[in-house]
A and B are shown apart, each in its own frame.
Chain A
């Protein structure tokens, strides 16, 4: 039972505090207004008697905006749509905060502008402007020349003053008996001529012009102030984003340096200068590598040229040897047998194998679309080896064929994968 009462008391307390809420705000005039987006605090509006602006951009959509006092009182806010704009003007006694949320696919943006209550002079000026506007609506031809509210108001005042003077003068002229009881001032007026009145009107006209100029100056100053406020707002926004970026960049640099720091046990402080030095070192190393690469390329080209020359010489020599074998195989066999006898190393019966141990070289080109696998198979079938390559020709080394070279080449040309075959390249 006690618990139920306790609970009921708590409920009543909550309801009471909720119904009293608007009167419980203790926001001071100079206290900033805390701004929350999606229930996260994003900044504050510090306007006192001037406008203050807060811009928030984020990748997340803005769902809710809340304005709170320093004591946590919820002053106002809005619920934003998923896409598009939503605006709201939150009134705080005389002041107001204009909220504008824009949600797009890329994210959400909030613009909060604190608009202070207008000062006494500002209110007076507005009232005058209103009056002038009304006057202008009745007498448009009198104000068209100037086109400004202030001027219109001044004109209205002047017109009333002049009319008043004229009426006064007329009354005096029409009722001379009132002169008896008049003061010194009225005596002066009675003696004043129409010329003096005209002079006075002229002076009033000059005054009117001066006021018009003052009005212009005030307007230009207002414009300047507006621009200044906008610039200040942009500046503060930029400053905030820069501060945020600085923190993020430092954090990022810290993370990047963590690995190397553990290995080398370097100090934590890493300056931007070291990064520049590293970059220069990298550039120098890259240049060195490029130079080495060029040098190596030249050497490879030279070696290839040399190799080609040597191969050509070898081909020539082999061709000579082949011709010589064709011309006098018996003589060659006899000389070799003689040599073998001299050295007592090789029996005569081996003279043929000795001759056959000399490799037979020829050049081939393969048909288009021939795979490397087919080439290797073909070479294996012939028990041959690949030699040099030149301009699409492949050198092949095999054991001397049992048939003459021309016949052998004819046989080779008959192969499916062979496009052309010849002895010399």
Chain B
């Protein structure tokens, strides 16, 4: 250490215990937030906390502080500042590591897994910038959550697909992936009303239905309040497919619904409020839900195969009668309110020949 201090004290990141720096094998890595009367210096333990075998991040950095004038230690007042400074330094180190070339998939996994927070914030930042530049941004928690949600989507894809791109520099690959997503027309479903709890709920359901068959089948339940038997009847499925529908329902109830709510950032009070609105103002609630679900369906239906367009009743009738296009029926009817009304009553047993279905949103499966 080049500087001379009257006293040097070290404490761990959590402020646990004070130890003399000179007794330990620490090296200086930088200053942070120097003030008029206080100085903070960062030291890194070369042993990485545990002889380098199993690095414990909380022990990798220590802080050293002194009060220049009085010669007493002012640790507590500097703790927040130092924590932030520590995070900045940690982040810088992580980013540097991400900029280096990784040569194997395992190395990629290792580097990226350690940098998830950095990458998530980076992707959210890009999304925020995209929204700002397209005039869709507003400084509120809904927009922040939206940016975080899409950041995590990009990160998920990066974690899986990036492994096949080695050797690569993970950070640059990640940036290019996000840029590629943002260069597509309408990269995500944005509507100011879809950022409110009801909109987020619907957006989450429909977005999940695109990638999860469980969620797709559950969409019938949430939209119309149908059970597995009703879905089988309405879509005119055969025995083999029927078993699968029951399984889809079970899995959705067990874990799928909760996971989707978590991913959309819907809290328990928000869900309770939605349930409350549904019970107290059913008609208004459903008509608002119908308006919003149409927006979401219009966007996410683009993920269907190209050859799944809306059909006339006679065309649906032919498909039902001849028994082909099981996937077509399941996918399209779940994601299209209009076609559901068009094809109403064509399913097996004629059980659905009553009044045409209206949206009756269910919050819980």
Question: In whole angstroms, how far apart are the Cα atoms of A71 and B305 in the complex?
Answer: 19
Contact B156 A71 (CB under 8 A): no
Q: Could you say which residues of chain B place their CB within 8 Å of the CB of A88?
A: 164
Contact mask A84-100 → B, CB, 8 Å, 1/0?
Answer: 00101000000000000
Interface membership of B211, Cβ < 8 A = yes
**Whole-angstrom distance between the Cβ of A66 and the nearest chain B Cβ:** 7
Contact mask A14-26 → B, CB, 8 Å, 1/0?
Answer: 1101110100101
Q: Which 8 A-B pairs have the closest CB atoms?
A: A72-B212, A10-B265, A78-B164, A14-B152, A72-B211, A3-B141, A70-B213, A79-B161
Question: In whole angstroms, how far apart are the Cα atoms of A74 and B144 in the complex?
Answer: 24
Contact A10 B148 (CB under 8 A): yes
Contact mask A236-258 → B, CB, 8 Å, 1/0?
Answer: 00000001101110110010000
Contact A14 B331 (CB under 8 A): no
Contact A250 B265 (CB under 8 A): no
**Could you pull out 12 A-B pairs where Cβ atoms are within 8 angstroms?**
A6-B141, A7-B141, A18-B155, A19-B116, A21-B159, A26-B251, A64-B157, A66-B161, A70-B212, A70-B248, A72-B213, A77-B160
Contact B160 A41 (CB under 8 A): no
Which one of B4-12, B22-30, B307-315 is at the A interface?
A: B307-315
How many residues of chain B get a CB closer than 8 Å to chain A's CBs? 54
Residue of A whose beta carbon sits closest to that of B267: A6
**Whole-angstrom distance between the Cβ of B288 and the nearest chain A Cβ:** 23
Contact B117 A15 (CB under 8 A): yes
Residue of A whose beta carbon sits closest to that of B124: A11
State whether A66 and B157 are in contact (beta carbons under 8 Å apart), knowing that A13-B265, A72-B208 are contacts in the complex.
yes
Contact B255 A26 (CB under 8 A): yes
State whether A74 and B307 are in contact (beta carbons under 8 Å apart), knowing that A14-B149, A14-B263, A15-B116 are contacts in the complex.
no
Question: In whole angstroms, how far apart are the Cα atoms of A47 and B328 in the complex?
Answer: 21
Q: Could you say which residues of chain B place their CB within 8 Å of the CB of A77?
A: 157, 160-161, 164
Interface membership of A42, Cβ < 8 A = yes
Residue of A whose beta carbon sits closest to that of B152: A14
Interface membership of B136, Cβ < 8 A = no
Contact A72 B305 (CB under 8 A): no
Interface membership of A195, Cβ < 8 A = no
Contact A72 B215 (CB under 8 A): yes
Q: Could you say which residues of chain B place their CB within 8 Å of the CB of A400?
A: none
- Considering the complex, which residues of chain B in the window 296-317 have a beta carbon less than 8 Å from any beta carbon of chain A? 302-307, 309, 312, 314-315
Interface residues of B (CB under 8 A from A): 113, 116-117, 120, 141, 144-145, 148-149, 151-152, 155-157, 159-162, 164-165, 177, 208, 210-215, 247-248, 251-252, 255-256, 259, 262-263, 265, 267, 302-307, 309, 312, 314-315, 318, 324-325, 328, 331
Residue of A whose beta carbon sits closest to that of B210: A41
Interface residues on A, range: 35 or more
State whether A243 and B325 are in contact (beta carbons under 8 Å apart), knowing that A10-B145, A11-B148 are contacts in the complex.
yes
Question: In whole angstroms, how far apart are the Cα atoms of A70 and B331 in the complex?
Answer: 13
Contact B120 A15 (CB under 8 A): yes
Contact A254 B325 (CB under 8 A): no
State whether A72 and B256 are in contact (beta carbons under 8 Å apart), knowing that A11-B120, A11-B148 are contacts in the complex.
yes
Contact A71 B214 (CB under 8 A): yes
**Whole-angstrom distance between the Cβ of A4 and the nearest chain B Cβ:** 8
**Whole-angstrom distance between the Cβ of A141 and the nearest chain B Cβ:** 42
Interface membership of A344, Cβ < 8 A = no
Q: Could you say which residues of chain A place their CB within 8 Å of the CB of B259?
A: 17, 24, 71
Interface membership of A76, Cβ < 8 A = yes
Question: In whole angstroms, how far apart are the Cα atoms of A385 and B341 in the complex?
Answer: 77
Contact A13 B262 (CB under 8 A): yes
**Whole-angstrom distance between the Cβ of B183 and the nearest chain A Cβ:** 12
Contact B141 A247 (CB under 8 A): no
Interface membership of A39, Cβ < 8 A = yes
Contact A40 B303 (CB under 8 A): yes
Q: Could you say which residues of chain B place their CB within 8 Å of the CB of A14?
A: 120, 148-149, 151-152, 263
**Whole-angstrom distance between the Cβ of B241 and the nearest chain A Cβ:** 11
Question: In whole angstroms, how far apart are the Cα atoms of A36 and B265 in the complex?
Answer: 26
Q: Could you say which residues of chain B place their CB within 8 Å of the CB of A3?
A: 141
Contact A248 B307 (CB under 8 A): yes
State whether A71 and B255 are in contact (beta carbons under 8 Å apart), knowing that A79-B161, A268-B314 are contacts in the complex.
yes
Contact A21 B156 (CB under 8 A): yes
**Whole-angstrom distance between the Cβ of A262 and the nearest chain B Cβ:** 14
Contact A76 B160 (CB under 8 A): yes
Interface membership of A34, Cβ < 8 A = yes
Q: Could you say which residues of chain A place their CB within 8 Å of the CB of B318?
A: 250
State whether A68 and B211 are in contact (beta carbons under 8 Å apart), knowing that A26-B251, A247-B307 are contacts in the complex.
yes
Question: In whole angstroms, how far apart are the Cα atoms of A247 and B315 in the complex?
Answer: 9
**9 other contacts beyond A14-B151, A72-B212, with CB at 8 A cut-off?**
A6-B267, A17-B259, A72-B213, A77-B160, A77-B161, A77-B164, A248-B307, A268-B314, A269-B314
Q: Could you say which residues of chain A place their CB within 8 Å of the CB of B255?
A: 26, 71
**Whole-angstrom distance between the Cβ of B292 and the nearest chain A Cβ:** 21
State whether A70 and B251 are in contact (beta carbons under 8 Å apart), knowing that A3-B141, A7-B145, A77-B161 are contacts in the complex.
yes
Contact B315 A254 (CB under 8 A): yes
Contact of A41 among B152, B164, B303, B309 (CB under 8 A): B303
Contact A34 B152 (CB under 8 A): no
Residue of B whose beta carbon sits closest to that of A65: B161
Contact A250 B315 (CB under 8 A): yes
Question: In whole angstroms, how far apart are the Cα atoms of A192 and B328 in the complex?
Answer: 76
Contact A71 B212 (CB under 8 A): yes
Residue of A whose beta carbon sits closest to that of B173: A79
Question: In whole angstroms, how far apart are the Cα atoms of A278 and B247 in the complex?
Answer: 51
Q: Could you say which residues of chain A place their CB within 8 Å of the CB of B148?
A: 7, 10-11, 14
- Considering the complex, which residues of chain A in the window 218-274 have a beta carbon less than 8 Å from any beta carbon of chain B? 243-244, 246-248, 250-251, 254, 268-269
Residue of B whose beta carbon sits closest to that of A87: B164
**Whole-angstrom distance between the Cβ of A213 and the nearest chain B Cβ:** 40
Q: Could you say which residues of chain A place their CB within 8 Å of the CB of B162?
A: 79
Question: In whole angstroms, how far apart are the Cα atoms of A71 and B148 in the complex?
Answer: 22
Question: In whole angstroms, how far apart are the Cα atoms of A68 and B155 in the complex?
Answer: 16
Question: In whole angstroms, how far apart are the Cα atoms of A88 and B166 in the complex?
Answer: 12
Contact of B144 among A7, A39, A251 (CB under 8 A): A7
**Whole-angstrom distance between the Cβ of B258 and the nearest chain A Cβ:** 11
Q: Could you say which residues of chain B place their CB within 8 Å of the CB of A246?
A: 324
Contact of A40 among B120, B265, B304 (CB under 8 A): B304
Question: In whole angstroms, how far apart are the Cα atoms of A41 and B307 in the complex?
Answer: 11
Question: In whole angstroms, how far apart are the Cα atoms of A53 and B325 in the complex?
Answer: 19
Residue of A whose beta carbon sits closest to that of B208: A72
